[in-house]
Amino acid sequence: DKSGSAVYGLSHSSSLVENCIVSNNVAYLGTGSKCCFRRCRIVGNRATYRGAAGQNCDFVSCLINGNNSDNQVDYAYRFESSTIGPDVSPSDTIALTNPRDSLTVLNSLILGGKQHSNIKARNSAFVKGNGVQDGNLTDCIVTNAAALEVDENFVPVVGRNVAIDRGNSARYSFADNGETGLAGNPRIMNGAMDIGCFEADWKPVYSKILGRGAVCWRDGTVNAKGERHEMRR
């Protein structure tokens, strides 16, 4: 009907989709229209028109991957602290902005596809050849895919992903977007926030440094004697 989607809201500022997984949906406008996706996984959807992950939407702390259409995100208002995986349709990943030329991609990890030339970005990371104009990048990383390695769950790999500890926490709302990344790791580990919606897992590194088995990490470590040690940096 040229307006359908999995979630069809009233506006990006009043219709909230939070902590949801949307997958295997096919609609004219794909996953969402006129809504805000927060802490969502948008994977494996298809738009018969364009905007497989959504059109006229906000995307905050979201994973987007494996969606099929002319582009992933169409006419976005906000795109912040999110990750776009490598499995995307061959056309634009973030195609257009709404209002045009005003969208700034913030704290986001873009692993696949290419960006429309009018996209601006700050504190974000892109794979080389993605189409973003150098003049539109501020405090960004543009490198090869090997330097932005993620595991099978899209979590940045310590020592193999240069976007780790490169996010700007001043541009992240902990009250709205949560204290942890989508994989459950605290948003601030090793003293700084990572780029994207996932935080790298430093627990194995901490455990090796301590030289003892740690059984509790979120609220502090507990050694074999039951002694609690708060991890602070």
- Please state the φ and ψ torsions of residue 187, each to the nearest 5 degrees: -65, -20
pLDDT tens readout for residues 111-129: 987 777 677 889 999 988 7
Distance from C-alpha of 79 to C-alpha of 91, rounded to nearest angstrom: 18
Residues 153-171 have a mean pLDDT of 94
Please indicate, yes or no, whether the overall pTM of this predicted structure exceeds 0.95. no
What's residue 233's pLDDT?
A: 40
What would the pLDDT profile of 65-122 be if each residue is shown by its tens digit? 998 887 888 888 889 999 999 887 666 677 666 555 567 889 999 998 777 767 788 9
Question: Using alpha carbons only, how large is the chain's radius of gyration in Å?
Answer: 18
Q: What is the pLDDT of residue 232?
A: 45
Phi, psi for residue 8 in degrees, rounded to 5: -120, 110
User: What percentage of the chain carries pLDDT values higher than 70?
Assistant: 82
Q: What is residue 24's predicted lDDT score, i.e. its pLDDT?
A: 94
Q: Compute the average pLDDT of residues 26-43.
A: 93
Q: What is the 3-state secondary structure (H, E, C) of the chain?
A: CCCCCCEECCCCCCCEEECCEEECCEECCCCEECCEEECCEEECCEECCCCCCEECCEEECCEEECCECCCCEECECEEECCEECCCCCCCECECCECCCCCCEEECCEECCCECCCCCEEECCEEECCCCCCHHHEECCEEECHHHEEECCCCCEEEEEECCCCCCCHHHCCHHHHCCECCCCCECCECCECCCCCCCCCCHHHHHHHHCCCCCCCCCCEECCCCCEECCCC
Handedness of CA 173, 179, 182, 186 (dihedral sign): positive
Please tell me whether the peptide bond between 99 and the residue prior to it is cis, using omega within 30 degrees of 0. yes
Q: By CB neighbour count within 10 A (0-12 exposed, 13-18 middle, 19+ buried), where does 1 fall?
A: exposed
pLDDT at 183 over 90: yes
Q: Is the pLDDT of residue 230 over 60?
A: no
